[in-house]
């Protein structure tokens, strides 16, 4: 009886680990986006954050960088839905997710 309960606990903990890994599949952690991208100017300011014009330091490629300050891990999880949807979209009229970073309690979504 005790072994069955222990086995169930192991299965549940493995499920939680897989679920968490999937939620953050498209977000790079512990990488400072400022090391790769230079902010050129502000494009817009919204309710959830600011959008900047960014330039890749190596290639010179331009992109929009949406920067959102998050206070908790739960708040970060709310934005994972948008990131996962953008990552799966492949249409010429929908903005494409290039990459996303989470660094210093800020979520950077590069499009």
Q: Is the CATH number 3.90.1150.180 carried by domain 2-110? A: no
Orientation angle between helical segments 2-23 and 73-88, nearest 10 degrees? 60
DSSP 86: H
DSSP 48: S
Q: In degrees to the nearest 10, what's the CA dihedral of 39, 40, 46, 48?
A: -10
DSSP 52: E
- What would the pLDDT profile of 26-80 be if each residue is shown by its tens digit? 888 888 999 999 999 999 998 889 999 999 999 999 999 999 999 887 888 888 8
CA–CA separation, 43 and 111 (whole Å): 13
CA–CA separation, 84 and 76 (whole Å): 13
Residues of the binding site for ATP: 66
Q: Choose among 77, 69, 75: nearest CA to 108.
A: 69
Q: pLDDT confidence of 21, banded at 50, 70, 90?
A: very low
Q: Where are the domains of the chain?
A: 2-110
Q: For residue 103, what are its two tokens? A: 């660094």
- State what percent of residues in the chain have pLDDT above 70: 79
């Amino acid at each position: 009886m005790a072994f069955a309960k222990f086995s169930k606990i192991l299965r549940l903990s493995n499920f939680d680990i897989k679920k968490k890994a999937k939620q953050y599949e498209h977000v790079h952690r512990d990488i400072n986006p400022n090391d790769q991208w230079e902010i050129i100017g502000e494009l817009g300011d919204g309710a959830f954050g600011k959008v900047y014009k960014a330039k890749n330091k190596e290639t010179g490629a331009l992109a929009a960088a949406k920067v959102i300050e998050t206070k908790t891990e739960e708040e970060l999880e709310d934005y994972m839905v948008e990131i996962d949807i953008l990552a799966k979209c492949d249409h010429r009229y929908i903005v494409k997710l290039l990459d996303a970073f989470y660094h210093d309690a800020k979520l950077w979504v590069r499009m």
